[in-house]
Amino acid sequence: MEVFENLLKRYPQLSVCKDDIEKVFTALLSVFQQQKKLLVVGNGGSAADSGHIAGELLKSFCRKRPIPQNIAAQLPAEITEQLEGALPVISLPDFVAFHTAYANDRSAAYGFAQLVLALGQPGDVFWAISTSGNSKNILHAAQVARAKSMPVIGLTGQSGGALKSLCDVCIAVPEVETYKIQELHLPIYHALCQALEAALFDGPSRT
């Protein structure tokens, strides 16, 4: 796709990830076409990335997204004019009240796993972002996702860590330092969000 060609022109070092990026796109496209949802997770900067991904998919990103006609027909124009087509995404780090309560009552290392147990359904996708690939709370959540028949996607650093073996597909960027890994994660998920939007919505560009 043109989106991914442009990504690799701007970041040629990501050419080694080309096949995995395209596989992740195919997996996510299938999920949304089947009316399933995406659960995204990460720690620290990757938690911010989780929220960033959700933000790009829950509303318009690069093009206008009309809402479904059957919904629009039941609403007044003043509401439909403000709404945008959306994709069902949940950023798991954003459950602040839950995480503080769970860490107080149980172990924070299992907070994400609990959320996957509560919110995930067979056919949903679990997207784990971890620069090391070894974050215990993310590994536990990935195990629960697999037990619930949810495909697991990884976005990691070069080694992939322990997470890689739990993934159906893992995009392991060619960097080993945390901040450099994160700098490559953003253009990848932006390209994926842009490609998904182009595939699922036929509205014109916002520019």
pLDDT for res 203: 67
Give residues with Cβ within 8 angstroms of 104, minimum separation 6. Answer: none
Give the mean model confidence (pLDDT) for residues 102-106: 97
pLDDT for res 17: 98
Q: What is the pLDDT of residues 178-196, one digit of tens each?
A: 999 999 999 999 999 999 9
Give the mean model confidence (pLDDT) for residues 71-97: 97
pLDDT for res 101: 98
pLDDT for res 202: 85
| Res 104 pLDDT > 70 | yes
Please list, residue by residue across 91-130, b when 16 or more beta carbons sit within 10 angstroms of its beta carbon and e when fewer do.
bbbebeeebeebeeeeeeebbbbbbbeeebeeebbbbbbb
Q: Is 42 exposed, middle or buried (0-12, 13-18, 19+ CB in 10 A)?
A: buried
pLDDT band at 1 (very low <50, low <70, confident <90, very high): confident
Give the mean model confidence (pLDDT) for residues 67-93: 97
| Res 205 pLDDT > 90 | no
pLDDT for res 207: 63
Give the mean model confidence (pLDDT) for residues 93-121: 98
Which phi and psi angles does 154 have, rounded to 5°? -115, 145
CA distance 196 to 104: 38
Asked if the 2-200 domain carries CATH number 3.40.190.10, the reply is no
pLDDT for res 206: 65
Give the mean model confidence (pLDDT) for residues 1-11: 96
Q: What's the token pair of residue 30?
A: 């299938």
Let me know: does 114 contact 25? Beta carbons within 8 Å.
no
Q: What is the pLDDT of residues 77-88, one digit of tens each?
A: 999 999 999 999
